[in-house]
Amino acid sequence: MTRPGFQPIDKITHRAALVGRTIDKRALTPLAGVVVTITSGPPAARPDQKITDAGGFFRWLDLPSGAYTLSASLPGTRYAAATGSLTLVSTAVGTLELQLAPTAVSGIVKAGSPATPLAMARVRFADSDDLGYTAADGSYTLSPIEAGTNRALEVSATNFVTTTQAVTLSQGQTTAAVIITLNHS
């Protein structure tokens, strides 16, 4: 009902909200700076994108109800893009967690004869600052790292000859390197 002298207006309703976060699928840690895009939604939805904050969070307010698909990506090849879908209901908050798969390499370093696991061996890529050290069981994982073909994986340890192995890394995949055996220097 409109009072005389007042203009009629539509009833105010709150539409749906969408909140979520992006995480590293391997480490389960938040990812900041991820571009999250609404790739499809109901006809009344607006195409839009957000960049996640330091905690990996993003949000949209006042969206129309309906089915949505989102994509999340970071520049470079350290992570594969992720997608997710959800259906929003009027006046409710929908949540979505998008897990980006990191590019990674893992393997085992051994030394001696017979070969036994070598702890604290330095594992790195010669063309970058990506490096790590082997655990007590000789295992290592470097993640996230840039994908590429024939990247030089260098393994070194005190009193051992440094060994280099070519490794091909696919974006968003974990490459299992062969067992690398170091020889005494």
User: 56-95: per-residue pLDDT in tens?
Assistant: 999 998 899 999 999 999 999 999 999 999 999 988 899 9
- Give percent above pLDDT 90 in the chain: 79
C-alpha–C-alpha distance, residues 134 and 160, integer Å: 14
Residues 96 and 140 in one domain: no
User: For residue 47, is the peptide bond before it cis, meaning its omega torsion is within 30 degrees of 0?
Assistant: no
C-alpha–C-alpha distance, residues 173 and 175, integer Å: 6
Residues 122 and 175 in one domain: yes
pLDDT for 172 beyond 90: yes
Residues 117 and 65 in one domain: no
Kindly give, in sequence order, each residue whose CB lies less than 8 Å from that of residue 131, ignoring residues fewer than 6 positions away.
122, 123, 124, 125, 142
Position 10 in a domain: no
Q: In the predicted model, what is the mean pLDDT of residues 159-166?
A: 95
Q: Please name every residue paired with 88 in a beta bridge, in sequence order, or none if there are none.
A: 66
Higher local confidence (pLDDT), 73 or 113: 73
pLDDT for 24 beyond 80: yes
Task: Quote the domain boundaries for residue 171.
Answer: 104-182
Q: In the predicted model, what is the mean pLDDT of residues 23-41?
A: 96
pLDDT for 12 beyond 60: no
Residues 63 and 92 in one domain: yes
Answer with the one of 100, 115, 134 that is the final residue of a domain: 100
Q: Comparing C-alpha atoms, which of 28, 20, 27 is closest to residue 72?
A: 20
Strands 148-156, 139-142: parallel, antiparallel or unpaired by DSSP?
unpaired
pLDDT for 185 beyond 90: no
Higher local confidence (pLDDT), 3 or 50: 50
Q: In the predicted model, what is the mean pLDDT of residues 100-123?
A: 95
